[in-house]
Amino acid sequence: MLLIDCPYCKEMRPEVEFSHAGEAHIDRPADPSSLSDEEWESFLFLRSNRAGICFERWYHIHGCGRYFNAVRNNVSEKFILTYPAGQKRPSDAQIKGALS
Amino acid sequence: MSEFRTAKGGRICRKTPLNFSFDGQSYAGLQGDSLASALLANGVHFVARSYKYHRPRGIMSAGTEEASALVGIDRGKGRFDTSTRATTQELFDGLKAQSQHCWPSLKFDVGALTALGSPVMSTGFYYKTFMWPKAFWEWVYEPILRNLAGLGRAPKEMDPDNYSSIHAHCDVLIIGAGPAGLAAALAASQSGSKVILVDENNEIGGDLLNCPIAQIDGTNSWDWLAETEKQLASLPNVTILTRTTAFGYYDQNFIGVVQKLSDHLGSLENKPDNKTLRERLWKVRAKRVVLATGSIERPLVFAGNDRPGIMLATAAKTFLNRYGVKVGNRPLVITNHDSAYESAFDLAEAGVEVAAIIDRRAKISSKLVEQAGKMGIEILLGHTIVQTSGKHRVCSVRAAPVGENASIRKIKCDAVLMCGGWTPSVHLFSQSRGTLTWRDDIGAYVPNNYTQDATSVGACNGDFLMSQSLNKGAVAGLEAAVSAGAKAPKSTSYKVVNEALTSDIPVEEIGIFSTIGEGKAFVDFQHDVTAKDIGQAVREGFHSIEHIKRFTTTGMATDQGKTSNLNGLAIASAALERPITEVGLTTFRPPYTPTSFGVLAGYSRGDLFDVTRKSPTEKWAEQNGAVFEPVGLWRRARYFPKTGENMHEAVARECKATRTSIGISDASTLGKIEVVGPDAAEFLNRIYTNPWSKLGVGRCRYGLMLGEDGYIFDDGVVGRLSEDRFHVTTTTSGAPRVFARMEDYRQTEWPELKVWLTSITEQWAVIALNGPNVRKLIEPFVEGIDFSKDTFPHMAIREGMIFGVPTRLFRVSFTGELGFEVNVPSAYGLGVWQRLMEAGKKFDIVPYGTESLHMLRAEKGYIIVGQETDGTQTPDDMGMNWAIGKKKQDFIGKRSLVRSDMLAPNRKQLVGLMTNDANIVLDEGAQIMGEKSNVIPAKMIGHITSSYWSETLQHSIALAIIDGGRARMGEEIYISMPGGFYPARIVDPVFYDPEGERLNV
Amino acid sequence: MSEQIETTLNPFNPLDDMNLDAAQGPDLIMRPIENCARFNLRISIEQLKKAAAAFGMDIPDSVGSMSSRAEKYALCLGPDEWLLLAPQKSADEIITRFAKLAKNNSHSLVDVSHRTIGIEISGSLAQLALSAGCPLDLENMQIGRCTRTILDKAEIILMKLEQQRYRLEVIRSFAPYVWSFLEKSGQDARA
């Protein structure tokens, strides 16, 4: 069972309190009606699905009730960084810093 | 006292004799014995038959690595454990053990006849032989093999034992309480760090228990051990757990640990309170882990190396020093490592005649030669064993110079002690995803790169000397405590005299297998895999070690190859003509040793198997004979049969009462969310397809929620309590996901909206009242609400009091009748229900459950999300375009509704079906065809989603989704069911009161 | 909504039907907590001081903190979520004062008095009984902290009142399960 550093609780908390909520940094378009089918398809279905470092959303459903974002290596399963929803995607340098 | 029990020594209690039986024969043992040591004390070596060839097998080790002496332990009804290692089972008075893999008896076993045909049963035999013909697998091969296969047998009764589990947190977890682990514990605990020390044996000490002659800092090792135990036990920050196995090393220092609490105590059958625990699962989260898991001696691979009486050299030493048991009167040693000499010397010291020491090496240290000479033990250097004899126990070996098939010499013996070097136990380290590195000098892999906060010390790290274990353990314990946050404690160092022997072992000596000699040379004793099998696998083209493992099954038995993995690798390496480091390694997986299902299930059995959520009125339903059904975690009343009624009759009566007078039903399980804030209406506009801004205070609306993909996600009635406060209802099973979805959008997509959500599902009990007399029933008991038809119309919500408690009263209907849903605070749900039942007597009020609920709504063509829909239906598919706010710029899923395939005319659409034969009730899920046709593949045009007998209409009715269904009204279609094709007509899905007149009364 | 109900109806607690004495001993005491008023408060952190004034005591602003006075508690469960506990008789006044606050300070106050059942568990084995199902490090949880978490298969709100005394708020329909679980794990803690 992983420990996850909840950016709102500011504590390492057990994985069972959380649920995974998909890829992070996919903003819902402000006006979906203005989108072409291809653009809407891309928003709706297309995900990066990379092995390695990825950006994810997590929901502290049995804790503070907040959705937040995480940088995680989905091969080693390790969390690298967590940060509140709405915050900018961390830079490569920040991720590197967190890894070292 | 038997001739094999020593006169003194050992850690057994000679004053406490125990009786036990093996295969029905009674024996005597001593307190402190393992089943294995007790059998050996009685001269019993032959205790099992092997899994595949049914070969006689003995006791090959003295510990957890045992691969041969697997027996069934009978602790009473339902308490039969199969494949238990005789070496780890502690003896108790009355223990009953049975051999396995033999029929009718251990000594005369029919299955052993397969050994006669064993060239046929070469490796991969099962894979190859039973491939063809295909039908034979199901009818012939499988039943026969099922009968023969398996490791022992499982009990058929329910497990009556108690298992528990606990989460534990500590600064330092130390796994293994041998010299390294003990030194680590002493060091780590000094400055108050919370330390948990676990060891799988019944007492701490590890290798110290085998080495009574060693001296630590001038103290006899056993005295040092007693003193250390006393010291650790006195510390409140140290928890020592014996009989406790760390079986799995998971992420972030999360370790699965099983503590055995009563397997050594004897039968629990007669304990009346049934409170004794069998095992406890510790889910340990440690800041730092010290792995002190020791090492395992390797067998040598030679022809006939599996006869009873042939065992690991150190096992003989353990049986002698720890249990006071001589494994034979004339043991012989075969080795390529110095440590086996200790066993020979200890046995000779105890007065046992050692037949010879056969050493594969041409040259050994002069000290060993000298010592052996003093003791009168013959050493055959540069020799090996080419054959062994003895039907049920080894009685002689034939030795020859290494690599030759000449100068063969027969040596009589009654036990063979073998040593092929030592393998560090890196199982847990590898499970932690650490990587290993090869060490040529010890011929084994040792930990290299750590991915978790752990450190390995002692033999599991390739440091085999007791002094190394103690000193490195002390350093590791100290560092672990400091890295877990403790102040630096003072360091310690240890001096050891008379410690264990160790020597280099060249890589070409590992898993050495000579083609010279007769008989099978076993690598994996539990799975009966021979050196030849591995060679054959390579010849047949399996070159990856993972493939070789699976093809031969080496290392795949319950012992997970503790004694066989490295020998297997080495033999594969030779066959592949690649260096061992290029052969690769197979994966170490939990559990380290077999772990009971009971302890993994823990509390999840019986009443605690899962949560049963009961509604606020469930007690009344229970007392009034309701039949229940599970709906998610909820337990809901399905119907309320009167004496003698079946479900069909009860439902018919319940529906009739609801349509003619009053039906009462519990709807408390519906999800409820209170949406509050100045932007509440705007929030709902975006969540639902419907428009909410203009919904008046005190009014309700049916709301439909889609996914972004445009498919129906959930539905429910929403009432507006004030400008900024809505009472939202969801489906029962959808409640959690709807709440999570709403929170998601609120927090992450529209954080600018001033709106908040509160789950109120369990704040309110909901009693649904339906039928023409409902208003008459409740009006007298309600205060503060005007009930007239015009001021309290259909789809309205009012707040007031009922029976003196607050209520949110909805005028809504899921039956098509005049309906009210009485919401009261949950604690009053039962009381209000009882009052309503009492007051409703004069209207012949009838309680109904989910079955009638479904029936009544189906007559009205109301959908149930998840029954009419399966996650691929749009509002239009369900004929619900009326629920879409056409003027809204956006809502979840809106964009998807105009994708071309969502607008296709031939999508599956909701329709009603009337069977030609009124009495045929169609099967839900049955496929629908446009024509009566047996042509394969038949063209399916849809399926039945709901189907019932309608008491009201005196006709079977069904809802279905059919390709372009709405354009096919009146068409005859056919439903394929086991009885044949049943014709039906496509009709409007609203079967009853299509004008809705009954609602507006 | 008023909780001061003049009624002959008896409130029903799902724990009423359980054998509440089964687990009891000097080392483990479990009891259902009397009915009380419970409110879910959602408000922006900037306006928290005003909410505190309406509630009549300090409301903490960091997640996991808890304040208490007399029989009132304010639990900060999330960055904009609080659970307020108060004696039943003060419910009306709290509702009224928050309603006044709403005029200029939008927030959400929702009555959830019946949503959960309170259970107090105390004694030297309390922590062990809870640790059977709760993955948090309870020994090192500070007194006066609170959190939503998991107990075996149920979500709970956990309040640490003293080193050996905890209060749980359990969703009503999960309460019998949680009670039975603690009864069994408490018994096992003695083994």
What CATH number does residue A45 fall under? 3.30.2270.10
Express each pLDDT in B625-650 by its tens digit.
999 999 999 999 999 999 999 999 99
Q: What pLDDT does B140 receive? A: 64
Q: Is A23 on the interface with C (CB under 8 A)?
A: no
Euclidean distance between CA atoms B39 and A44, whole angstroms? 68
Q: What pLDDT band is residue C3 in, cutting at 50, 70 and 90?
A: very low
Q: Is A9 on the interface with C (CB under 8 A)?
A: yes
Q: Is A65 on the interface with C (CB under 8 A)?
A: yes
Q: Which secondary-structure segment (H or E) carries B852?
A: helix B850-859
Q: Which secondary-structure segment (H or E) carries C10?
A: none
Residue A33 domain-assigned (yes or no):
no
> Under an 8 A CB cutoff, do C5 and B805 touch?
yes
> Under an 8 A CB cutoff, do C135 and A62 touch?
no
Which residues in B lie closer than 8 A to residue A77 (C-beta atoms)?
251
Residue B896, pLDDT > 90, answer yes
For residue C156, what is the nearest residue in chain A, using CA coordinates?
A62
Mean pLDDT of B565-578: 94
> Under an 8 A CB cutoff, do A67 and B743 touch?
yes
Q: In chain B, pLDDT over 70 holds for what percent of residues?
A: 95
Euclidean distance between CA atoms B414 and B44, whole angstroms? 12
Q: Which of C16, C188, C190 to mutate to test the interface with B (most CBs of B within 10 A)?
A: C188
Mean pLDDT of B603-607: 93
**Number of compact structural domains in chain A:** 1
Which residues in A lie closer than 8 A to residue B738 (C-beta atoms)?
none
Express each pLDDT in B928-956 by its tens digit.
999 887 778 889 999 999 999 999 999 99
Exposure string over B427-446, b if 16+ CB within 10 A, otherwise e: bbbbbbebebeeeeebbbbb
Q: Which C-chain residues 28-57 have CB contacts (< 8 A) with chain B?
A: 35, 40, 42
> Under an 8 A CB cutoff, do B805 and C111 touch?
no
> Under an 8 A CB cutoff, do A11 and C64 touch?
yes
Residue boundaries of the structural domains of chain B: 13-109, 117-147, 162-295+424-497, 514-590, 904-1001
Express each pLDDT in B29-71 by its tens digit.
999 999 999 999 999 999 998 888 889 999 999 999 999 999 9
Please answer whether residues B603 and B165 qualify as being in contact, where contact means their C-beta atoms are separated by less than 8 angstroms: yes
> Under an 8 A CB cutoff, do A14 and C64 touch?
no
Q: Which of B167, B251, B257, B689 to mutate to test the interface with A (most CBs of A within 10 A)?
A: B251
Residue B269, pLDDT > 80, answer no
Q: Are strands B277-291 and B254-260 parallel, antiparallel or unpaired?
A: antiparallel
B904-1001: CATH class: mainly beta
Q: Which B-chain residues 627-686 have CB contacts (< 8 A) with chain C?
A: 634, 674, 676-678
Q: What pLDDT does B586 receive? A: 85
Q: Which C-chain residues 22-81 have CB contacts (< 8 A) with chain A?
A: 62-64, 77-79, 81
Please answer whether residues B356 and B384 qualify as being in contact, where contact means their C-beta atoms are separated by less than 8 angstroms: no
Backbone angles phi, psi at B179, to 5 degrees: -55, -40
Q: Is C139 on the interface with B (CB under 8 A)?
A: yes
Q: What pLDDT band is residue B124 in, cutting at 50, 70 and 90?
A: low
Q: Which of B262, B636, B756, B797 to mutate to test the interface with C (most CBs of C within 10 A)?
A: B756
Beta strand ranges found along B462-586 (DSSP E): 496-497, 522-524, 529-530
CA distances B99 to B70, B82, B288, Å, are 7, 10, 42
Question: Average per-residue pLDDT in chain B?
Answer: 93
Q: Check residue B648 and report its DSSP letter.
A: H
Q: What pLDDT band is residue C2 in, cutting at 50, 70 and 90?
A: very low
B514-590 adopts what CATH topology?
Arc Repressor Mutant, subunit A (1.10.10)
For residue B710, what is the nearest residue in chain A, using CA coordinates?
A44
CATH node for B162-295+424-497? 3.50.50.60
Q: What pLDDT does B77 receive? A: 84
- Measured from the Cβ of residue B426, the count of other Cβ atoms closer than 10 Å reads 25
Which residues in B lie closer than 8 A to residue A61 (C-beta atoms)?
740
Q: Is C4 on the interface with B (CB under 8 A)?
A: no
- Measured in angstroms, the CA of C173 and the nearest CA of chain B are apart by 5
Q: What pLDDT band is residue B619 in, cutting at 50, 70 and 90?
A: very high
Q: What pLDDT band is residue B149 in, cutting at 50, 70 and 90?
A: low
For residue A64, what is the nearest residue in chain C, using CA coordinates?
C78
Q: Is C6 on the interface with B (CB under 8 A)?
A: yes
Using DSSP, state whether B235 is helix, strand or coil: coil
Q: What pLDDT band is residue B144 in, cutting at 50, 70 and 90?
A: low
Q: Which secondary-structure segment (H or E) carries C92?
A: helix C91-102
Chains that touch B (3 or more CB pairs under 8 A): A, C
Backbone angles phi, psi at B593, to 5 degrees: -130, 160
Q: What pLDDT band is residue B127 in, cutting at 50, 70 and 90?
A: low
Euclidean distance between CA atoms C31 and C24, whole angstroms? 9
Q: What pLDDT band is residue B148 in, cutting at 50, 70 and 90?
A: low
Express each pLDDT in A36-88 by its tens digit.
999 999 999 999 999 999 999 999 999 999 999 999 999 999 999 999 999 99
Pick from B935, B930, B913, B931: nearest CA to B922: B913
What are the residue ranges of helices labelled H in B577-662?
A: 597-601, 618-623, 647-660
**CATH superfamily ID and name for C24-190:** Probable tRNA modification gtpase trme; domain 1 (3.30.1360.120)
Using DSSP, state whether B814 is helix, strand or coil: coil
Q: Is C90 on the interface with B (CB under 8 A)?
A: no
> Under an 8 A CB cutoff, do A3 and B252 touch?
yes
Compute and round to an integer the Cα radius of gyration of chain C.
17
B13-109 adopts what CATH topology?
Ubiquitin-like (UB roll) (3.10.20)
Mean pLDDT of B653-668: 97
> Could you tell me how many CB contacts below 8 A there are between chain A and chain B?
52
Domain limits for position A12: 3-26+39-99
Q: Which of C149, C153, C156, C178 to mutate to test the interface with A (most CBs of A within 10 A)?
A: C149
> Which residue in the set B254, B747, B895 is minimally distant from A32, CB to CB?
B895
Q: What pLDDT does C1 receive? A: 42
Which residues in B lie closer than 8 A to residue C2 (C-beta atoms)?
806
Q: Is A3 on the interface with C (CB under 8 A)?
A: no
Chains that touch A (3 or more CB pairs under 8 A): B, C
Amino acid symbol at C19: N
Q: What is the DSSP string of B886-943?
A: TT-S--TTTGGGGSGGGS-TTSEEEEEEEESSTT-PPPTT-EEESS---PSSPPEEEE
ipTM, two decimals, is: 0.98
Using DSSP, state whether C191 is helix, strand or coil: coil
- Measured from the Cβ of residue B591, the count of other Cβ atoms closer than 10 Å reads 18
Which residues in A lie closer than 8 A to residue C178 (C-beta atoms)?
none
Q: Is the dihedral of CA B960, B966, B970, B976 positive or negative?
A: negative
Residue C4, pLDDT > 70, answer no
Mean pLDDT of B725-732: 97
CA distances B54 to B104, B112, B113, B559, Å, are 12, 5, 8, 18
Residue B815, pLDDT > 60, answer yes
Which residues in B lie closer than 8 A to residue A57 (C-beta atoms)?
748
- Measured from the Cβ of residue B465, the count of other Cβ atoms closer than 10 Å reads 17
> Under an 8 A CB cutoff, do C5 and B762 touch?
no
Which residues in B lie closer than 8 A to residue A67 (C-beta atoms)?
743-744, 747-748
- Measured in angstroms, the CA of C66 and the nearest CA of chain B are apart by 20
Residue B467, pLDDT > 90, answer yes
Q: Do domains B13-109 and B162-295+424-497 have the same CATH topology?
A: no
